[in-house]
Amino acid sequence: MQTNDHIIKFTGSASLPEPLEYQHNYKIIIDGEVRGADPRPNDDGTQNIIYPVRLITAEVLKDDGKTIKSKDRSSKSKKLRGAIYFFKEEHYPDEDEEEFYDKAMGLAIKNIDRWLPYLLKNE
């Protein structure tokens, strides 16, 4: 089936440290996670694909060139899981994601007395 359009649908929100002007246009850079790809058939035999994107952080570009950066409200455990995922993809792409995560977390917990003092000393 031919695809006519690829559409991003945003969900979520960002917490900003200062207000924005009402009825003012801004350029916004977002960091988000694509949560799927949902093909939607059209009446003419074609389809559109909807990509739900969960907003993680946003950066608002102001007219004066300054930026307003949102706070990342993700929990630290979600950030750690994401970091483990990206490490796996870069270094062990053929490994199963859940098995790799379980192994990494097991090793981290088992060896916390070895790596945590090192990290705290070298931060």
Query: How many domains are there within the chain?
Result: 2
- Does this model's pTM top 0.85? My answer is no
- State pLDDT tens for residues 34-87: 989 999 999 999 999 999 998 989 999 999 999 999 987 778 888 898 889 989
Domain extent for 114: 75-123
Q: What pLDDT score was predicted for residue 16?
A: 93
Once rounded to an integer, what is the mean pLDDT over residues 20-40? 93
> Does 63 share its domain with 103?
no
Q: What is the pLDDT of residues 99-116, one digit of tens each?
A: 999 999 999 999 999 999
| Same domain, residue pair 41 and 91 | no
Indicate whether 10 and 40 sit together in one domain. Answer: yes
Measure the CA–CA gap between 123 and 45, rounded to whole angstroms.
57
The predicted pLDDT at position 74 comes to 75
Residues 65 and 84 in one domain: no
Q: Domain boundary at 71, 93, 115, which?
A: 71
Residues 13, 56, single domain; the answer is: yes
Q: Looking at the structure, do residues 92 and 64 belong to the same domain, yes or no?
A: no
